[in-house]
Amino acid sequence: MSSLDSIVSLCKRRGFIYPGSDVYGGFAGTWDFGPLGVMLKKNLMDTWWSYWVDRRDDIYGVDADIIMNPRTWLASGHTATFADPLIECKACHGRFRADKLAKGLNEHVTDDEFARLGVKCPTCGQETWGPIRMFNMMFKTHVGPVDGEESAAYLRPETAQGIFVNYKNVVDSLYPSIPFGLAQQGKAFRNEISPRDFILRDRECTQMEIEYFVHPSTWETEFEQLLKETDTFLEKEIGLSMSKINHLEVAEKDRAHYSKRTVDFMYQYPGGEEELMGLAYRTDFDLQNIARESGKSMEYRDKQTGETFVPHVIEPSIGVERLFLAVLADSWDEEKGILHLPANLAPYKFCVSPLLKNKPELVQKAKEVYDLLKAKYTFVTWDDSGNIGKRYKKQDEIGTPKCIVIDFDTLEDGTVTVRDRDTASQIRINPEEL
């Protein structure tokens, strides 16, 4: 597997991802997507949406605001429980997540458990720690012209609540048959104590989440079905190696407060195994809390039986950045300098080049082929810089599956050279057949 440093270097060199606010020296935990990164990210999000929403009849899309009524986070439990264990080094005053400083710890770590491990500060090497405190990770802001507690609000820490608050709206307007799901893609914000590992743990991320509403008696069957469909998505649609993915059945003490069963999809990243996404059974926790806080019924009336009940919920949730990094880690061959992206995810499908840029007849013909492919596939790039070998190397690095070269034989018989990224094999073909 390629190193994380090599992936970070590739991302900046070829315009996938830059450090946030780089011109000013950066800003911890923030990253900006460059031209190619935007295209790859969009392809990932479009593939997810196509698989889970467009091709199905039982999942619908919503797009809720980032800033929501603060009662949302009171009802969901985020105001009270969305926190990480913060510990400070008394020597250098560095602040860290206590559960990430040693193996075997979790977010419920106590002072005594931490002390027994003899953890040294990763910054100064000292072992002089203050007490562990729980740090709420929501970003606080103010709405309107008055800066006070009455105007306090939060940037959403997850997209799920935007779905839950619209559950009743969708039921009232569409009345979908149960089971059904609501999907949302969008930004979420978490004031991470110690962002790390490139885009694996950052302060602003893009989430893709589904809340799948089911009858309480069928949740186990539906859970297993969504588990299988998620595996299919990761392997067949995204192209990840399933040998690098492990299903982790999360123990009760490690689950989120709302979950009765959670399976984490763990991926072998360059720095070790980390969570790629999760599948959680949230019971009726969220809808019951909304009903209690809002005073409005969240019951669903079954079309067939007439039974009324509050649906239970199963949630497949994935961060785009974690998926982005997994795709790069899976695809990048550091030794050969080739990014083996699946064709459906690659920023460009084709690169068109004239063999020589100082030959007008080759350039003109190449422009014709470029226009033909651009009209058909949209995601086509042009390259006439340097020699043909350097162009191939550049396109290999950014994951372009096919390079099309217009040479002097093209002027004679109309065929072009098509070079394959993964095998470096070349064939001649009429451009209309591409």
Which CATH number fits the domain 4-70+160-333, given the four candidates 3.30.70.2740, 1.20.140.10, 3.40.50.1000, 3.30.930.10?
A: 3.30.930.10
Q: Where are the domains of the chain?
A: 4-70+160-333, 86-136, 350-433
As a whole number, mean pLDDT of residues 155-165 equals: 95
pLDDT in tens, 245-299: 999 999 988 888 788 999 999 999 998 999 999 999 999 999 999 999 999 999 9
Above 80 in pLDDT, residue 413?
yes
Is the distance from CB of 63 to CB of 186 less than 8 angstroms?
A: yes
pLDDT in tens, 369-394: 999 999 999 999 999 999 999 999 99
pTM: 0.90
> Quick one: pLDDT band at residue 326, thresholds 50, 70, 90?
very high
pLDDT of residue 146: 78
As a whole number, mean pLDDT of residues 400-417 equals: 95
Is the distance from CB of 166 to CB of 172 less than 8 angstroms?
A: no
What is the spatial distance between Cα 364 and Cα 204, in angstroms, rounded to a whole number?
A: 45
CA-only gyration radius of the chain, Å: 25
> Quick one: pLDDT band at residue 182, thresholds 50, 70, 90?
very high
Q: Under the phi-then-psi rule, with left for phi > 0, alpha for psi from -120 to 50, and beta for the rest, what region is 267? A: beta
pLDDT in tens, 183-210: 999 999 998 887 888 999 899 999 999 9
Does domain 350-433 match CATH 3.40.50.800?
yes
> Quick one: pLDDT band at residue 414, thresholds 50, 70, 90?
very high
pLDDT of residue 294: 95
The fraction of the chain above a pLDDT of 70, given in percent, is 100
pLDDT in tens, 210-235: 999 999 999 999 999 999 999 999 99
| Length in residues, the chain | 434
Tokens (6 digits) for 371: 């226009």
